[in-house]
Amino acid sequence: MLAKQHAWIFSFKNKIIVNVLDKINVIENYASGYRRIFEDYADFSKQPDYYISNNGVIVTLYNRNYGIENDGQNEGQNGGQNIKFDISKRRTKILELISENNQITSTILKELLGVSKATIERDFSKLRKEGKLEYIGSSKNGYWKIKE
């Protein structure tokens, strides 16, 4: 349960359009999104701030993933998932997967390891700089070669 109750005032620029969209099930319930936001933040320490003006509602949502450590600059929503593998274990796993399939893509690797594509690309770059990995051929017909 939310600690404090929120009273919502609904107003629409064009009520006819809103009613038509509601009738054909394009929209859910009026302002149900606000209710869901506050329900999702019920167990979070920083509750959303909101300001109701004559023209609408301004809602400030705080990042629930702030403070979760990861090794990348642009992790986005996958940031918290990097805990699955530490960096060296993840790079070792990448080399293992490449040894099983030398044409494996970064898209497949990101799904298997639960990290972002940017993280995989950074790992490829690091492995190349360390002299452990080389890509041979074109982006369509190439393959990975593990250097010993």
**List of residues 6+ apart from 127 with CB closer than 8 A:** 91, 94, 95, 133
Cβ atoms of residues 78 and 114 within 8 Å: yes
Q: Give the pLDDT of residue 10.
A: 60
Burial (0-12, 13-18, 19+ Cβ within 10 Å), 98: buried
Q: Does 1 map to a domain?
A: no
Q: Which residues of the chain have pLDDT under 50?
A: 1-5, 70-71, 79-85
CATH of the domain at 142: 1.10.10.10
Residue 48 DSSP label: P
Q: Give the pLDDT of residue 134.
A: 92
Structural domain containing residue 42: 15-60
Domains in the chain, number: 2
Q: Give the pLDDT of residue 82.
A: 45
Q: Does 66 map to a domain?
A: no
Q: Are residues 93 and 36 both part of a single domain? A: no
Q: Does 53 map to a domain?
A: yes
Q: Does 49 map to a domain?
A: yes
Q: Give the pLDDT of residue 67.
A: 57
Q: Are residues 50 and 21 both part of a single domain? A: yes
Q: Does 20 map to a domain?
A: yes
Q: Give the pLDDT of residue 9.
A: 54
Q: Give the pLDDT of residue 66.
A: 64
Q: Give the pLDDT of residue 31.
A: 63
Q: Does 28 map to a domain?
A: yes
Q: Are residues 55 and 88 both part of a single domain? A: no
Q: Are residues 88 and 117 both part of a single domain? A: yes
Q: Are residues 93 and 120 both part of a single domain? A: yes
Q: Give the pLDDT of residue 83.
A: 46
Q: Does 54 map to a domain?
A: yes
Q: Are residues 81 and 139 both part of a single domain? A: yes
